[in-house]
């Protein structure tokens, strides 16, 4: 196939299938790359495979003013750098920012080893950068809207919590279970228990449910203590008033009873005796 005609807008983003040998030093990283971490052992294995069999699939790049920008093939490029290669086979393609970001994300999704937090960040970046709705993004990526939404919910977790989850290699379902907790401190506390006791997802969900129930019970006790304290303030005020009335010469009887559902406070004031005229 030949190069795309720049004057034909219908072929503006058509593949330029000619494979070229490009200098590695002229290829800059993809700013839309969703993958944050590249496992060194995996890169070593890929480099060994490339050294033996060569690059089976060329990189995809787009032209920039000073050279090229990587669109797809980050791991292959890193592996070639490890091997000390000076050039790599690549296909130059005309792409705008949105298509560049989409291709980078799709390539990683197809590999199926993109971390769920990285995937969520990739979705969020596409939504924010290009003002897409979740439904529009789902259609462009061949995903369901619910799967996009479920991934994005994970970003509600604090960055510190996400880092610990990734470091401890907990699953996505572990992460989702933590969303039921309100504070970062509670989430980190639960993670510590999950890791120490090697809890699976079901055990983690049950533990969180018990944790939340216990929290509600403690909260209820606190409320009851506060109510009781408020009632005591009231009864003490009544007692003070009773003492004032007694000091003025009145006969006052104060009674207080606590029932299951209520407090009963009775104040009896004896009428002064009338003087005969």
Burial group, residue 242, by CB count within 10 angstroms (0-12, 13-18, 19+): middle
Active-site entry in 45, 65, 74, 121: 74
Left if phi > 0, otherwise alpha if psi is -120 to 50, otherwise beta: which for 5? beta
d(CA 88, CA 25): 10
d(CA 213, CA 110): 41
258 is catalytic: no
Residue 221's contacts (CB-CB under 8 Å, 6 or more residues apart) are none
Vertex 62, ends 58 and 66: CA angle to 5°? 120
Q: Name the 3-class secondary structure at 244.
A: helix
d(CA 166, CA 160): 10
Vertex 52, ends 46 and 53: CA angle to 5°? 85
DSSP 193-214: HHHHHT--HHHHHHHHHHHHHH
- Residues designated as active site: 74
């Amino acid at each position: 196939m030949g190069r795309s005609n720049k004057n034909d807008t219908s072929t503006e983003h058509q593949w330029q299938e000619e494979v070229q040998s490009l200098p590695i030093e002229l290829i800059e990283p993809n700013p839309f790359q969703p993958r944050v971490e590249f496992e060194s052992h995996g890169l070593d294995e890929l480099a060994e495979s490339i050294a033996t069999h060569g690059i089976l699939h060329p990189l995809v790049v787009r032209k920039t003013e000073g050279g090229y920008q990587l669109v797809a093939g980050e791991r292959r490029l890193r592996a070639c750098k490890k091997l000390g290669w000076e050039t790599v086979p690549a296909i130059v393609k005309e792409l705008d920012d949105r298509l560049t970001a989409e291709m980078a994300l799709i390539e990683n999704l197809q590999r199926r080893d993109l971390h769920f937090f990285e995937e969520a960040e990739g979705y969020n970046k596409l939504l924010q950068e290009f003002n897409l709705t979740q439904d529009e993004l789902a259609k462009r990526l061949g995903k369901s809207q619910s799967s996009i939404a479920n991934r994005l919910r994970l970003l509600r977790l604090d960055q510190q919590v996400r880092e610990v989850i990734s470091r401890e290699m907990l699953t996505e379902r572990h992460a989702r279970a933590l969303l039921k907790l309100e504070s970062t401190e509670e989430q980190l506390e639960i993670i510590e228990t999950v890791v120490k006791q090697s809890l699976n997802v079901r055990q983690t969900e049950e533990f969180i449910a018990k944790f939340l129930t216990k929290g509600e019970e403690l909260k209820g006790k606190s409320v009851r203590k506060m109510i009781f304290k408020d009632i005591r303030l009231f009864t003490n005020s009544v007692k003070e008033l009773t003492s004032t009335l007694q000091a003025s010469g009145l006969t006052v009887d104060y009674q207080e009873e606590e029932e299951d559902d209520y407090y009963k406070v009775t104040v009896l004031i004896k009428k002064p005796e009338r003087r005969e005229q």
